[in-house]
């Protein structure tokens, strides 16, 4: 089996409420611009989106605030994929906003309906499959009840099918669950993440809530992509499989629990094929143990 013939179904499935998705999905952030800041090529990223669907991807993560002076991720998704496949689940995020100049602002509970309606307009849909409330900072304290309650009302009104959370703490999750069901938690996570985040991942699994890591490949590079050289542990596993370090990182992340979904983003057709193929990459128990030790050491690094 070649990478080009591996589909997203090889990664297994999980349910977001009543919606079944393959565990390898697609993140839309890279559609609007490249890691170096240059604009994306419109026809190329449209082709990437269509190829993702051909490869069985049925979970796309996006947001109205994913835009550049030339591109809007939501509008590219609509242009490439509408009329949408019946099994396609589009997850979006609200809370942050950006004005036309790119400056960030944060919505009040009363402003969330406008953000939801903007996503509906851009995507050309009458409801949103999953909406995540994005919280400004992992370290932020304080209640999210006002914001999450506003989204719960929009869910009751039929504008949203399911609710999730992004960039949150276990305390945020507990507060949200007292208001409405939560189908997913989207937090930064990967080999380089803090081991203490593992407990939150496990808690989500126990609650049958999807845990959706972002920056699983990029690590500390975040929006810039994987800017640092991978360590020997990751590279050795990659060489053993004729794979890339990015594929190893994705495969390890998926092995952290059956509720873990991956949403790697790219505007590169070859990278898309490789990301999807990572869902079928077999890691031995010895390889997993080596990567686990690398992950555990992240908690003892001086800058952790």
CA atoms 194, 130, 22, 208: torsion sign: positive
Mention every residue, 6+ apart, whose C-beta is less than 8 A from residue 215.
188, 189, 190, 221, 222
DSSP helix/strand/coil, 265: coil
Determine the Cα–Cα distance for residues 27 and 216; give it in Å rounded to an integer.
Answer: 11
CA-based Rg of the chain, rounded to a whole angstrom? Answer: 18
CB-based contacts of 138: which residues, under 8 Å, 6+ apart? Answer: 167, 168, 169, 187, 188
- 42/110 Cα distance (integer angstroms): 34
- Catalytic residues, which ones? 66
Other beta carbons less than 10 A from residue 188's beta carbon: 18
């Amino acid at each position: 089996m070649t990478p080009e013939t591996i589909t997203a179904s090889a990664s297994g499935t999980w349910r977001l409420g009543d919606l079944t998705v393959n565990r390898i999905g697609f993140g839309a952030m890279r559609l609007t611009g490249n890691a170096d800041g240059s604009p994306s090529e419109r026809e190329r990223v449209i082709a990437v989106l269509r190829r993702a669907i051909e490869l069985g991807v049925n979970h796309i993560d996006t947001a109205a605030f994913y835009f550049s002076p030339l591109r809007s991720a939501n509008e590219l998704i609509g242009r490439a994929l509408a009329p949408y496949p019946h099994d396609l689940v589009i997850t979006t995020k609200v809370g942050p906003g950006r004005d036309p100049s790119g400056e960030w602002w944060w919505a009040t509970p009363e402003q969330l309906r406008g953000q939801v309606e903007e996503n509906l307009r851009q995507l050309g849909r009458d409801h949103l499959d999953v909406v995540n409330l994005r919280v400004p900072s992992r370290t932020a304290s304080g209640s999210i009840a006002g914001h999450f309650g506003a989204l719960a009302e929009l869910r009751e009104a039929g504008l949203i099918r399911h609710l999730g959370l992004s960039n949150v703490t276990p305390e945020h999750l507990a507060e949200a669950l007292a208001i409405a069901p939560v189908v997913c938690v989207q937090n930064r996570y990967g080999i380089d993440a803090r081991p203490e985040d593992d407990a939150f991942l496990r808690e989500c699994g126990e609650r049958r809530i999807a845990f959706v890591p972002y920056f699983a490949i990029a690590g500390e590079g975040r929006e810039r992509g994987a800017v640092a050289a991978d360590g020997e542990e990751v590279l050795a596993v990659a060489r053993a499989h004729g794979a890339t370090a990015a594929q190893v990182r994705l495969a390890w992340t998926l092995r952290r629990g059956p509720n873990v979904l991956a949403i790697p983003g790219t505007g590169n057709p070859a990278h898309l094929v490789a990301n999807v193929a990572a869902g079928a990459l077999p890691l031995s128990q010895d390889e997993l143990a080596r990567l686990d030790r690398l992950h555990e050491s992240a908690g003892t690094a001086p800058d952790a």
